[in-house]
Amino acid sequence: MKPSPRIEKLLSLFRPGAFLADVGSDHGQLVIGAVDSSLFPRAMAIENKKGPYARLKAAVEESGHGREIVVSLSDGLDELDPSCDSLALCGMGGRLIAEILERGKAKLSPIKQIVVDAHSERPYLDERLLALGFVSSSAVYFEERGKGYSLERWERGELGRPRSSLERKYGLAPFAFLQNGYRAFLERERDKSSLLSENGGLPPEKRTEEKESTAELERYLHENA
Ligand SMILES: C[S@@+](CC[C@H](N)C(=O)[O-])C[C@H]1O[C@@H](n2cnc3c(N)ncnc32)[C@H](O)[C@@H]1O
Asked if pLDDT for residue 4 goes beyond 90, the answer is: yes
Q: Residue 50: CB partners within 8 Å, gap ≥ 6?
A: 73
Report CA(28)–ligand 1 centroid distance (Å): 10
Asked if pLDDT for residue 80 goes beyond 80, the answer is: yes
Report which protein residue has its CA nearest ligand 1's atom 27. 26
Q: Is the CB of 47 under 6 A from ligand 1?
A: yes
Closest ligand 1 atom number to CA of residue 88: 6
- How confident is residue 1, by pLDDT bands cut at 50, 70 and 90? confident
CATH code of the domain occupying 5-160: 3.40.50.150
What is the model's pLDDT at position 168? Answer: 95
Q: Is the CB of 45 under 6 A from ligand 1?
A: no
Residues 5-17, mean pLDDT to the nearest whole number: 97
- C-beta neighbour count of 208 within 10 angstroms: 12
Instruction: Give the chain's length.
Output: 225
- How confident is residue 173, by pLDDT bands cut at 50, 70 and 90? very high
Distance CA 218, CA 220 (A): 5
Domain boundaries, the chain: 5-160, 177-225
Residues 165-194, mean pLDDT to the nearest whole number: 95
Report which protein residue has its CA nearest ligand 1's atom 11. 24
Mean pLDDT of the chain: 96
Report which protein residue has its CA nearest ligand 1's atom 2. 91
48 DSSP 8-state letter: -
CB 15 within 8 Å of CB 137: no
Q: Report the 3 state secondary structure along 196-208.
A: HHCCCCCCHHHHH
What is the model's pLDDT at position 174? Answer: 95
Q: Residue 26: CB partners within 8 Å, gap ≥ 6?
A: 47, 52, 55, 56, 91
CB 122 within 8 Å of CB 94: yes
**Nearest Cα residue to 33 out of 67, 56, 58, 10:** 10
